[in-house]
Chains A and B, each alone.
Chain A
Amino acid sequence: MLSIKELRASVEEKTILQGLSLNIAPGEVHAIMGPNGAGKSTLGHVLAGRPGYEVLSGSVAFEDQDLLAMETEERAQAGLFLAFQYPVEIPGVSNMEFLKASVDAVRDSNNLEPLDSVTFMKRAREACKAVNLSIDFLKRGVNEGFSGGEKKRNELMQMMLLEPKLCILDETDSGLDIDALQVVAAGVNAMRSADRSFIVVTHYQRLLDYIQPDFVHVLAGGKIVRSGGKELALELESKGYAWLDGAA
């Protein structure tokens, strides 16, 4: 699914990723943990192709494609989805209009006709229900006046609608209360399948109680310094990150 080799990348001329390698097979869930400033969010944005994030060296293969050679929207169309930590508001553009444009753009890249409105609405309503968002949110401006938790659930709702191959969740759990966290986790778990992979970026082990990862990686100083199973997360929880410094 995804193969990252020796990736080095900078933001505003500061090198953040310092030779990161990671392999993700279809169906796997990888959790990425690590201290503040380790480059966790940067990894998500570099993979998504955020303007201003510069790749210095290394390679990323997404299925058979050279991900780094693709435009931001092409990556999305190819099935890469990033659930944002801080989704921005787009006033005046309704969530529905935005989602329709998004779904149709992805379909168009796969040579599919735009989704008819009835089917689209049906799917959009189902997705809202799955993340416990009122369908009134479809009529509101994209993220406009949404609370922190509503924004996160709105991201998840879009993810469900777009059915991506690779889902990157950038601290989707931050700022969520335990109920919302369970809703998000249930949504992710429902989407798990043999051909869909997840990268779950998180600060806290808590989320991993609900989303069981296949692998846990510790990112520090722009590199993966330790990898393991879900027990690694528990170890981090009790010991903190300091004990890893030697390994970094």
Chain B
Amino acid sequence: MANEHINEVIEREYTPGFTTNIESDTLPPGLDESVIRTISARKEEPQWLLEWRLDAYRRWLEMTPPEWAQVKYPPIDHNAISYFSMPKSMADKPKSLDEVDPELLATYEKLGIPLHEQAMLAGVAVDAVFDSVSVATTFRENLAEAGVIFCSISEAAREYPELVKQYLGSVVPKTDNYYAALNSAVYSDGSFVYIPKGVRCPMELSTYFRINESNTGQFERTLIIAAEGSHVSYLEGCTAPMRDENQLHAAVVELIALDDAEIKYSTVQNWYPGDAEGKGGIYNFVTKRGVAHHRAKISWTQVETGSAVTWKYPSCVLKGDDSIGEFYSVALTHNHQQADTGTKMIHLGRNTKSTIISKGISAGQSSNAYRGLVRMSPRAVGARNYTQCDSLLIGDRCAAHTFPYIESKQPTAVIEHEATTSKVSDDQLYLCQQRGIDPEKAVSMIVNGFCKEVFKELPMEFAMEAGKLLEVSLEGSVG
């Protein structure tokens, strides 16, 4: 009797689920070398980059998809996907926002991301990526004054080839894993950030990824380089229309924090999660990794509420002495969503420190797994890790799993791991209701309380956003 009350499942409303009707220039489905050559040619890439892509493709052909994750999905037919799609109006490479198709601007407006600078959130520069291309990057001039480069990665390959050549694939090698190899072969667009030595980036940088076209994949690639002593905070957001078929999103993000630099990378991921029966939704297979040099700090914060299947482990390689890695995560799964997410903290340098705070929330019939690796190398004298891993269950048909891997080859290293599993109980809801609070509000209050430690790590404007997102995602999770 009791659980019926909590369990009456979810008709979540996915507000970003609309489709933009624009003419798109989309490659026919299928993947072979000619497709890669076409993508590279469209982007007017240097020859070395084409070679790099082709090499990744050839190696990918010999690789197999990972099967160790706690997720189930039918095999993906990579020849049924189109690897490049862009709005036709983008073919002429609009020079400014005034030349961008109003339909595209309206799409972002509707998503709450106005691209006209005067309408934007003060202090946030946005790169808007629509299917395979970057539509616009705002505030570029202001940033340029500080010496900050913020542009699409396609543009960076043309304008700043030395930087791209030096760092692309330096953190996530193209053969790192199956999806990273695929991304290296076919990546379409994404953001490029370079913060020069000693510069504190004057505004938040953010990229908004939108998948629109059906039967396409999105393979974005982000590269952020923070030179010595610099500082940057970057945020990405993601949405897609509601479609019955599953769509693949396989991204790679590489962060390089040179000596004394700091990168804070926040994600609010709300890809279409599929419907209440588990039909449709995005497969979110993402490789994110950063290298921290001496005294540098890399901090990942993620709020994951979307996608049908999530496979994602934002990681830190703490290469330099005294470097710091952080991972703060809220992963919410509902209906039939599956998530296998966590982090890797690889301690190479001395006195390196890492903190992992993971909050998993499972509702409906979903499955939510935390998978994390903490590795102390022989050189990591005095290294420390603290991990806290909490799971919250809503209802009695969902699952939470925790897979911590701890490897220490350094006797002075200290590793702490704490884990809890709790449930939103009928008694808690009853207490709230007896005080006049309706059950949906009660669940969202309880879940927000559970996530507090992570939300306080988000840039302020987005912490509110994230709280609201959880509220929407849990709509109807109680009856």
Q: A105-B438, A141-B449 are in contact. Are A90 and B428 (CB under 8 A)?
A: yes
**Are A92 and B1 in contact (CB-based, < 8 A)?**
no
A-B contact pairs, 21 of them (CB 8 A): A51-B2, A51-B5, A51-B426, A52-B2, A52-B5, A52-B426, A77-B436, A84-B434, A87-B431, A90-B432, A90-B446, A91-B422, A92-B448, A92-B452, A93-B446, A94-B449, A101-B432, A105-B436, A105-B438, A142-B431, A162-B435
9 closest Cβ pairs, A-B complex: A92-B449, A93-B449, A102-B435, A76-B436, A105-B436, A72-B433, A88-B427, A51-B5, A73-B433
Interface flag for A12 (CB, 8 Å): yes
**Chain A residues close to B by CB (< 8 Å):** 12, 48-52, 71-73, 76-77, 81-82, 84, 87-88, 90-94, 97-98, 101-102, 105-106, 109, 141-142, 158, 162
**Are B437 and A102 in contact (CB-based, < 8 A)?**
yes
Nearest residue, chain B, Cβ from A88: B427
A71 to B437, CA, bound (A): 11
| Pick from B430, B439, B446: contact of A50, CB under 8 Å | B430
Nearest residue, chain B, Cβ from A105: B436
**Are B425 and A97 in contact (CB-based, < 8 A)?**
no
A202 to B96, CA, bound (A): 75
A88 to B434, CA, bound (A): 12
B451 → A minimal CB distance (Å): 8
A109 to B428, CA, bound (A): 21
Query: Could you mark each residue 252-273 of chain B with 1 if its beta carbon is under 8 Å from any beta carbon of chain A, else 0?
Result: 0000000000000000000000
User: Which of B427, B436, B441, B445: most chain A CB closer than 10 A?
Assistant: B436
**Are B430 and A51 in contact (CB-based, < 8 A)?**
yes
Which residues on the B side are within 8 Å of A51 (C-beta)?
1-2, 5, 426, 429-430
**Are B441 and A101 in contact (CB-based, < 8 A)?**
yes
Interface secondary structure of B, over-half rule:
helix
Query: Could you mark each residue 430-470 of chain B with 1 if its beta carbon is under 8 Å from any beta carbon of chain A, else 0?
Result: 11111111110100011011111000000000000000000
Which residues on the A side are within 8 Å of B437 (C-beta)?
73, 101-102, 105
A105 to B452, CA, bound (A): 22
**Are A76 and B434 in contact (CB-based, < 8 A)?**
yes
A215 to B244, CA, bound (A): 65
Nearest residue, chain A, Cβ from B429: A51
A12 to B446, CA, bound (A): 27
Nearest residue, chain A, Cβ from B6: A51
B75 → A minimal CB distance (Å): 40
Nearest residue, chain B, Cβ from A76: B436
Which residues on the B side are within 8 Å of A52 (C-beta)?
1-2, 5, 426
Which residues on the B side are within 8 Å of A90 (C-beta)?
428, 431-432, 446, 449
**Are A158 and B435 in contact (CB-based, < 8 A)?**
yes
**Chain B residues close to A by CB (< 8 Å):** 1-2, 5, 422, 425-439, 441, 445-446, 448-452
Which residues on the A side are within 8 Å of B435 (C-beta)?
76, 98, 101-102, 105, 158, 162
Nearest residue, chain B, Cβ from A78: B436
A189 to B433, CA, bound (A): 26
A113 → B minimal CB distance (Å): 16
A70 → B minimal CB distance (Å): 11
Which residues on the A side are within 8 Å of B2 (C-beta)?
51-52
B112 → A minimal CB distance (Å): 24
Which residues on the A side are within 8 Å of B449 (C-beta)?
90-94, 97, 141
Which residues on the A side are within 8 Å of B5 (C-beta)?
51-52
A10 to B426, CA, bound (A): 18
Which residues on the B side are within 8 Å of A81 (C-beta)?
434
A92 to B428, CA, bound (A): 12
Which residues on the A side are within 8 Å of B426 (C-beta)?
51-52
| Pick from A48, A101, A142: contact of B434, CB under 8 Å | A48
A104 → B minimal CB distance (Å): 9
A51 to B478, CA, bound (A): 12
A158 → B minimal CB distance (Å): 7
Which residues on the A side are within 8 Å of B450 (C-beta)?
91-92
**Are B425 and A88 in contact (CB-based, < 8 A)?**
yes
A118 to B438, CA, bound (A): 24
Which residues on the A side are within 8 Å of B441 (C-beta)?
101, 105
A31 to B426, CA, bound (A): 28
**Are B433 and A84 in contact (CB-based, < 8 A)?**
no
**Are B446 and A72 in contact (CB-based, < 8 A)?**
no
Which residues on the B side are within 8 Å of A142 (C-beta)?
431
A141 to B445, CA, bound (A): 12
A135 to B103, CA, bound (A): 54
B474 → A minimal CB distance (Å): 15
Which residues on the A side are within 8 Å of B438 (C-beta)?
71, 73, 105
A77 to B441, CA, bound (A): 14
- 4 more CB-based (< 8 A) A-B contacts, given A52-B426, A98-B445, A105-B438: A51-B1, A92-B450, A98-B435, A102-B437
A71 to B428, CA, bound (A): 16
Which residues on the B side are within 8 Å of A94 (C-beta)?
449
| Pick from B1, B427, B428, B439: contact of A12, CB under 8 Å | B1
Which residues on the A side are within 8 Å of B448 (C-beta)?
92-93
A81 to B433, CA, bound (A): 10
Nearest residue, chain A, Cβ from B439: A73
A49 → B minimal CB distance (Å): 8
A81 to B436, CA, bound (A): 9
A151 → B minimal CB distance (Å): 11
A52 to B427, CA, bound (A): 11
A206 to B317, CA, bound (A): 66
Which residues on the A side are within 8 Å of B436 (C-beta)?
73, 76-77, 102, 105-106, 109, 162
A162 to B432, CA, bound (A): 13
User: Which of A76, A81, A94, A158: most chain B CB closer than 10 A?
Assistant: A76
Which residues on the B side are within 8 Å of A101 (C-beta)?
432, 435, 437, 441, 445
Nearest residue, chain A, Cβ from B441: A101
Which residues on the B side are within 8 Å of A97 (C-beta)?
445, 449
A242 to B433, CA, bound (A): 37
Which residues on the B side are within 8 Å of A105 (C-beta)?
435-438, 441
A215 to B180, CA, bound (A): 76
User: Which of A49, A71, A97, A101: most chain B CB closer than 10 A?
Assistant: A101
Nearest residue, chain A, Cβ from B5: A51
